[in-house]
């Protein structure tokens, strides 16, 4: 089947400024999760991506030039702050880094944990320096952002996820003490990002309903996320984005209560249901399957699934941004990413009546 790929009439910056003001745009915004996933596309290893300011900048700039997403950004990932606070991280040449050893094996060691100094500890200063350079290079055309793991996920990586999840029942007091330390570390990164003019988003994968109950989310994740979002609002004048991997339907209300402006939805949930429940409260982001559809599917599959998301989300009261439900997998054909962007031009253009798709 032949499709009309309508040419963009606005720059990403113009589009997102109009979108934020509730004005008409040339098409629905589209911002797939990129970052380190596309480092190899531009001739870099994942290892180098995580250890070089020059590589971080090069991947970000070339990602924008190649894919033209409506936002560009990166950050220390889920491993950056835990590593800076003493957790072991394994870096292979071309796979996502992973936590190999928690910073503490027992709460008797909690005294050695200090909130991270983002300018001195670990690799975090690489990301901040690269973000500043990237913003200087691209800010005339596209908004540059950053994201950081939330307090709950950070605490689980400092303690060991299995142990920390047991602590929610068996050692609540110490779990909260650890969360206080992790929250301060996240706040330190938020402040540093705001200092260079960025609005950071939050990712909290270990607090999904796949991992914990909604009751535990309300007690152990929500209050600390709210403190982080409150700081973002204080520093930037508005809320930002929260992404939680896995199933989140039972905690959508709690996520909205945190004060976010944008709720990024994993592909395991239905964005149409989210629209009906909270589309009048927050902008929706999502939620094409990055693995089965974008990486493993055909171009036609990508168009079909993106079209389904657009039909469900395009008329959401607070706005809708087409994206993936999580990170684009490492090794994805760049033409597949371009296809997702083109889907917004085909099915989300202001030249067509989306209600008639």
Residue 10, pLDDT score: 97
Q: Quick one: average pLDDT of 208-212? A: 95
Residue 3, pLDDT score: 92
Residue 44, pLDDT score: 97
> Quick one: tokens of 184?
């301060």
Q: Quick one: average pLDDT of 162-167? A: 97
How would residue 2 be classed by pLDDT, with cut points 50, 70 and 90?
Answer: confident
Residue 261, pLDDT score: 98
| Beta pairing, strands 262-265 & 98-101 | unpaired
Residue 351, pLDDT score: 80
For residue range 5-46, list pLDDT tens digits in order.
999 999 999 999 999 999 999 999 999 999 999 999 999 999
Task: Assign 1 to helix, strand or coil.
Answer: coil
DSSP string for 247-279? --GGGHHHHHHTT-SEEEE-TTS-HHHHHHHHT
Q: Quick one: average pLDDT of 212-221? A: 98
| CB environment 142-152: b (16+ within 10 A), e (fewer) | bbbbbbbbbbb
What Cα–Cα distance (Å) separates residue 335 from each residue in 71, 139, 298, 320, 332?
19, 25, 10, 23, 8
Nearest Cα to 74, choosing from 38, 101, 34, 122?
34
Q: Quick one: average pLDDT of 283-300? A: 97
Q: Does residue 218 register a pLDDT over 90?
A: yes
Q: Does residue 354 register a pLDDT over 80?
A: no
For residue range 238-272, list pLDDT tens digits in order.
999 999 999 999 999 999 999 999 999 999 999 99
Task: Assign 198 to helix, strand or coil.
Answer: coil
- Look over the chain and give the mean of its residue pLDDT values, rounded to a whole number: 96
Cis ω on the peptide bond leading into residue 287 (within 30° of 0)? Answer: yes
For residue range 85-117, list pLDDT tens digits in order.
999 999 999 999 999 999 999 999 999 999 999
Residue 121, pLDDT score: 98
Strand intervals (E) in the chain:
72-73, 88-90, 98-101, 144-149, 200-203, 241-244, 262-265, 283-288, 320-324
For residue range 182-194, list pLDDT tens digits in order.
999 999 999 999 9
| Beta pairing, strands 88-90 & 72-73 | unpaired
Q: Does residue 355 register a pLDDT over 80?
A: no
Residue 259, pLDDT score: 97
For residue range 71-83, list pLDDT tens digits in order.
999 999 999 999 9
Non-local (6+) Cβ contacts of 16 within 8 A are: 29, 70, 71, 142, 143
Residue 357, pLDDT score: 76
């Amino acid at each position: 089947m032949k499709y009309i790929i309508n040419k963009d009439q606005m720059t990403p910056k113009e589009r997102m400024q109009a979108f934020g003001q509730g004005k008409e745009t040339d098409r629905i915004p589209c911002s797939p999760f990129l970052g380190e996933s596309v480092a190899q596309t531009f001739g870099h290893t994942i290892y180098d991506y995580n250890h070089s300011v020059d590589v971080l900048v090069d991947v970000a700039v070339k990602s924008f030039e190649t894919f033209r997403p409506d936002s560009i950004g990166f950050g220390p990932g889920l491993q950056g702050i835990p590593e800076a606070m003493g957790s072991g991280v394994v870096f292979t040449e071309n796979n996502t880094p992973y936590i190999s050893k928690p910073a503490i094996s027992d709460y008797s060691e909690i005294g050695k944990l200090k909130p991270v100094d983002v300018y001195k500890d670990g690799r975090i200063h690489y990301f901040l320096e690269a973000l500043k350079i990237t913003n200087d290079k691209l800010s005339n055309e596209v908004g540059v952002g950053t994201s950081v793991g939330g307090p709950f996920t950070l605490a689980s990586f400092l303690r060991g996820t299995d142990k920390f999840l047991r602590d929610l029942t068996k050692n609540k007091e110490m779990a909260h003490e650890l969360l206080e330390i992790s929250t301060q570390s996240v706040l330190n990164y938020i402040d540093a990002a705001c200092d260079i003019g960025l609005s950071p988003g939050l990712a909290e994968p270990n607090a999904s309903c796949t991992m914990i109950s909604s009751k535990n989310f309300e007690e152990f994740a929500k209050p600390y996320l709210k403190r982080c979002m409150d700081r973002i609002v204080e520093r930037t004048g508005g809320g930002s984005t929260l992404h939680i991997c896995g199933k989140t339907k039972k905690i959508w209300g709690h996520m909205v209560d945190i004060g976010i402006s944008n709720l990024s939805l994993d592909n395991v949930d239905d964005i149409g249901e989210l629209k009906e429940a909270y589309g009048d409260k927050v902008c929706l982001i999502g939620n094409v399957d990055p693995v089965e559809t974008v990486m493993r599917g055909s171009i036609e599959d990508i168009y079909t699934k993106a079209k389904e998301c657009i039909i469900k989300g395009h008329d959401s009261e607070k706005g809708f941004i087409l994206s993936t439900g999580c990170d684009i997998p490492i090794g994805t054909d760049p033409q597949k990413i371009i296809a997702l962007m083109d889907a917004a031009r085909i099915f989300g253009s202001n030249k067509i009546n989306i209600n008639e798709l």
